[in-house]
Chains A and B, each alone.
Chain A
Amino acid sequence: MQRSQAPIDFSGNGHILNMQNLCKSYQLGTVEVKALRDINLTINQGDYVAIMGPSGSGKSTLLNMIGCLDRPTSGDYFLGGQDVSKLEDDDLSLIRGARIGFIFQSFNLISQLNIIENIQIPMFYQSISEHDSEQRARELAAMVGLGQRLKHKPSELSGGQQQRVAIARSLANDPLIILADEPTGNLDSESGADILRILDDLHSQTKTLITVTHDDNIAAHAERVIHLFDGKIEKEEYN
């Protein structure tokens, strides 16, 4: 299997993520909607960044852009030193699987698969052998405190536990960026706090984290808070 990724290049500007004059617009009928305008953003290895903003501010679009789910209309996006703004669909899929760890608000586990199989999904698409991926999945499940429930289906777990599975899954390919979209949005405050603690732990292990949220309490865990308004970065704060 041919890997289309270039080796990670930190020699240039040293940024893990670098967006330059990034714009994204949609065609809604005859109206052109500018979801993102001239985003300039750099994130370094080990950063913990929160992206905030009211609904319609372009949060989701920026998240999709960072997660390589979408391509910008104009501007550049370097991920790990590699220009990903003009990649083909297949290459984008590969990058997504290898460099981004997704954590969703609604967990997004596959209900037919058990815990260990869910954690294995990203590794499957990177062609990691069954043996290796299973071992790695066991380690990750143990790390998030679910080592005893490997054969359970997601429906047999609580929301907090499901989100922990999702975190384990996001770490499967040791990504450059962990991208969390309202990670506690569907959880009660106790399990929410639990999840935030795990994210803090990951940060302390020098993982790069980006959370998208509208909750100030969650944003308070991050070092940097980026406020989006009307598709633009309105202000940036450091906690």
Chain B
Amino acid sequence: MMITFRLKRTIKLGLKSLWMHKLRSILTALGIIFGVSSVIAMLAIGEGASQKAQADIARLGSQNIIIKTIKPPQDQTASGAGTQMLDYGLTYEDAERLHYSIPNVQVIVPSRIISQEVWYRNKKVSTEIIGTVPWYPESTPVNVQTGRFISNIDNQYMQGICVIDEEVADRLFVLDYPLHQDIKIGSDYYRVVGVVSKHSAVASEEDKVSGTQSKNTQGGSNVGNIYIPLTTARVRFGEINVQFGGSTGASIEKVELQEIIIKVGSVDRVLPTREIVEAVLNRFHKKEDYQIIVPLELLRQAKALARIFNIVLGSIAAISLLVGGIGIMNIMLATVSERTREIGIRRALGAKKRDIIMQFLSETLLLTFSGGILGIILGSAIPFFVTYFGKQPTDITPSALILAFGISAVIGVTFGIYPAYRAANMDPIESLRHE
């Protein structure tokens, strides 16, 4: 009761004296406002970026092990003169072997990925053709918008059908409804039986995270994905890819499968299974013509990276808060010396050291608290604009708000206590004499 009364009076006194020096108070609080808002904004931007990266990786499937064909490095120089056929990469046999030798496997999805131009009437799009199996959606979620995905019958009878994604649909079918239209891929026609959402376009995300560029014969970047039955892909495109141009004249490559996705039963089986996969493949692949990508590992790396990112951003923001705090201390020291006489009067009229400490500390705390609140408002507005104009995902977590406010409180106390202590320890006789 008595304490709340004194507290109220002390706060009122503090507000009054801050109000007396409005400009000074605002300038002092600015340091905290910018410090707090930069902590919040930086953490929000960092959090948003890392969440996006993690979501991208998670879309690859945390229970998945992705094996990709890569061109073995030594073969690029081995072909001296003339035309030589390169035979490398994952094979149907590999898929079979993995299927029989790995326990606890839910699905194995072999895919053939070919870069091709696709035509519908006079519209052309260069895209990635994924020849895959009907159970592909079990490893990588596919959101069917209209129609259906590849069926067992399609695969069995090597049907000339395809499933396109939104992006391809948007480019090719400006006026027409895509379902049941025929599109030309390479030299053959395929009937569109389904349209799937864009985010199932995994190949491009994989390339991003694994760092390998998708091989595009046309030179331009590929747009979207088209799914066709694996058997169809095998018979219509074959396994031999002839490329003209370059110093060697022509290069011929034979690749059976570009990708095998293995989905294991649970997340903790992922890493042991990876070792088995490596052991199985090593026996038959003397060259390094494949690469194993474990999204779970990538996810862990991304999280570790995000942590470092947050620490760096957080430290920069913390330094600005520190600078703000020093600014506050500087002003409070000036205020204390300016008000030496007032301190002397108050001491003579019965103020204890504690009362003087409370008086100046409450002023500092009011400054940092109001600065902290304004900083939170500003700091929440910045990520909004970053998302709105910069198209960069941001996320303001409650913990960032608490952290920023907590830091401003800590700064208020840390940088307020010394000036207040100095005020309280002035000799009342000396301060009364002070002009």
Chain A residue nearest to B354 (CB atoms) is A90
- What B residues does A67 contact at CB under 8 A? 348
* B350–A125 touching, CB < 8 Å: yes
State in angstroms the CA–CA spacing of A112 and B347 once bound together. 17
Chain A residue nearest to B425 (CB atoms) is A89
* A70–B16 touching, CB < 8 Å: no
- What B residues does A112 contact at CB under 8 A? 16-17, 20
- What A residues does B345 contact at CB under 8 A? 108-110, 121
For chain B residues 393-432, which have a beta carbon within 8 Å of chain A? Answer: 428-429, 432
For chain A residues 88-138, which have a beta carbon within 8 Å of chain B? Answer: 89-90, 93-94, 96-98, 102, 104, 108-110, 112, 121-122, 124-127, 129-130
* B349–A96 touching, CB < 8 Å: yes
The tally of CB-CB contacts under 8 A between chains A and B is 67
- What B residues does A89 contact at CB under 8 A? 352-353
Q: Is A64 an interface residue (CB 8 A)?
A: yes
A to B CB contacts below 8 Å, 19 in the list: A67-B348, A69-B432, A96-B349, A96-B350, A97-B351, A102-B348, A104-B432, A108-B348, A110-B346, A112-B17, A121-B345, A122-B349, A124-B9, A125-B346, A125-B349, A125-B350, A125-B355, A127-B5, A129-B5
B19 to chain A, nearest CB (A): 9
State in angstroms the CA–CA spacing of A70 and B430 once bound together. 11
Other A-B pairs, 10, CB within 8 Å; known A67-B348, A110-B345: A69-B347, A93-B347, A98-B350, A102-B348, A104-B432, A108-B341, A108-B345, A110-B346, A112-B17, A121-B346
Chain B's interface size range is: 20 to 34
B326-350 vs A: 1/0 string, CB under 8 Å? 0000000000000001101111111
Q: Footprint of A on B, CB under 8 Å? A: 2, 5-6, 9, 16-17, 20, 341-342, 344-355, 428-429, 432
- What B residues does A126 contact at CB under 8 A? 350
- Of the candidates B5, B20, B342, B429, the one whose C-beta lies within 8 Å of that of A64 is B429
* B352–A108 touching, CB < 8 Å: no
Q: Footprint of B on A, CB under 8 Å? A: 1, 64, 67, 69-70, 89-90, 93-94, 96-98, 102, 104, 108-110, 112, 121-122, 124-127, 129-130, 169, 173
- What A residues does B355 contact at CB under 8 A? 93, 125
A114 to chain B, nearest CB (A): 11
- What A residues does B429 contact at CB under 8 A? 64, 69-70
Q: Which of B17, B349, B351, B353 has the most CB of A within 10 A?
A: B349
State in angstroms the CA–CA spacing of A175 and B389 once bound together. 69
Known contacts being A70-B429, A104-B432, A112-B17, is A130 close to B9, with CB within 8 Å?
A: yes
Chain B residue nearest to A181 (CB atoms) is B432
- Of the candidates B6, B342, B352, B432, the one whose C-beta lies within 8 Å of that of A110 is B342
State in angstroms the CA–CA spacing of A173 and B351 once bound together. 13
Chain B residue nearest to A112 (CB atoms) is B20
- What A residues does B6 contact at CB under 8 A? 124, 127
Q: Which of B347, B348, B355, B428 has the most CB of A within 10 A?
A: B348
State in angstroms the CA–CA spacing of A102 and B20 once bound together. 27
State in angstroms the CA–CA spacing of A96 and B2 once bound together. 20
Chain A residue nearest to B9 (CB atoms) is A124
State in angstroms the CA–CA spacing of A62 and B273 once bound together. 91
State in angstroms the CA–CA spacing of A160 and B134 once bound together. 101
Chain B residue nearest to A104 (CB atoms) is B432
- What A residues does B341 contact at CB under 8 A? 108
* A90–B349 touching, CB < 8 Å: no
Chain B residue nearest to A111 (CB atoms) is B342
